Copies of this chain bind each other. A is one copy, B any other.
Amino acid sequence: MTTGKELGVAVIGAGYWGPNLARNFRSSDDWELRAICDLDLDRARRVAGEHVAVTTALDEVLARDDIDAIAIATPARTHQAVALPALEAGKHVLVEKPLADSFAHGAQMVRSARERDLVLMADHTYCYTPAVLKIRELIAAGSLGDILFIDSVRINLGLIQPDVDVFWDLAPHDLSILDFILPGGLRPTGVAAHGADPLHAGRPCVGYLTLPFGDGALAHIHVNWLSPTKIRQMVIGGTRRTLVWDDLNPQQPLSVYDRGVDLAGQSTGGTDRSDATISYRLGDTWAPALPHREALGQMVTEFASSIREGRASRTDGESGLRVLSVLEATAASVRADGAFSQVEREPDLRGKVSAA
């Protein structure tokens, strides 16, 4: 099925995100966009353009032999119900974030894909931006050393969503990025979350997430719908260097600081280094140039490559599942007044298909 030059794809859902996917599949050399499926045929037609079938019936799409993969851009609560029959029909599946509306649903999808050796990929778009790709590369190359802390701020005057709180709306971006850039993926030892609903809107509009990730390191995420100013900033502190990513600064999005604290030597045999020699580095700052590439274009290319090479994609179903597990633990912690909440794991799911 994947031997032809171009892979056939259908986009399910022609609402907000579907047209972006359709546009990128259409302009990709790897893909042939073959169908748009939406309950609203007019909407499907506007997205389809020429030579692309439109339908309201998922079955029709799944029955076609020239469709290798489907891309799901429907509301999260329907992801599992679309993905499972698609996988059963032997289609590779790309899913808009979040992977599903619950960990259990996501886990079903991951298991189904594994059983059939199909690619299940989460559309964690941010991970394909030039900035995040560069951050991953720098961390992997050891430029930052061991990660000590990560502080992410994602705040703006946001639409108060009717069905999700500020954690489910904004934190998936930060969590999927953490999963992508951290060498071991997103595997916190627990989650403590504090939410505030000062307007009595019925759900948290301001949220803070604390994620210890072993050996004293800590990630912290601030998401907020009530801030009059927009901030998208992530600080990643390492033993060797510290990186600051300011997503709203087009002239210098990434800054790598050769500044920090060094604890060296140790005068006693004690287990902590409280009496170690402390020194400070105050070195240069470096801002790597980034290429100008559309993230979604990179993402659909990775989807094709992972299918062709029979490997997990860089943002596979399991990464989507790890994000879901933290979101569920977040909700539990908020309910428990900020107490640390365990993060669910499915260890048996990992390892068979290794990531690129």
List of B residues within 8 angstroms of A194 by Cβ: 192, 210, 212, 218, 220
B201–A259 contact, CB under 8 A?
A: no
Q: Does A283 contact B (CB under 8 A)?
A: yes
List of B residues within 8 angstroms of A275 by Cβ: 202
A252 vs chain B, min Cβ distance (A): 6
Which residue of the partner chain, among B206, B210, B230, contacts A251 with CB atoms under 8 Å? B230
A209 vs chain B, min Cβ distance (A): 10
Which 10 pairs between the two chains have the least Cβ-Cβ distance?
A: A202-B274, A228-B257, A148-B198, A196-B218, A285-B287, A228-B259, A198-B216, A228-B242, A202-B272, A194-B210
List of B residues within 8 angstroms of A288 by Cβ: 284
Q: How many copies does the complex hold?
A: 4
| Size of interface on A: residues with Cβ below 8 Å to B | 67
Q: Does A278 contact B (CB under 8 A)?
A: yes
Known: A192-B192, A208-B208, A217-B196. A276 touches B151 (CB 8 A): no
Q: Does A15 contact B (CB under 8 A)?
A: no
Known: A196-B212, A226-B148, A228-B257. A201 touches B276 (CB 8 A): yes
List of B residues within 8 angstroms of A276 by Cβ: 201
A226–B289 contact, CB under 8 A?
A: no
Dominant SS at the A interface? Answer: strand
A160–B284 contact, CB under 8 A?
A: no
Known: A194-B218, A196-B212, A229-B251. A261 touches B202 (CB 8 A): no
Nearest residue (CB) in B for A158 is B261
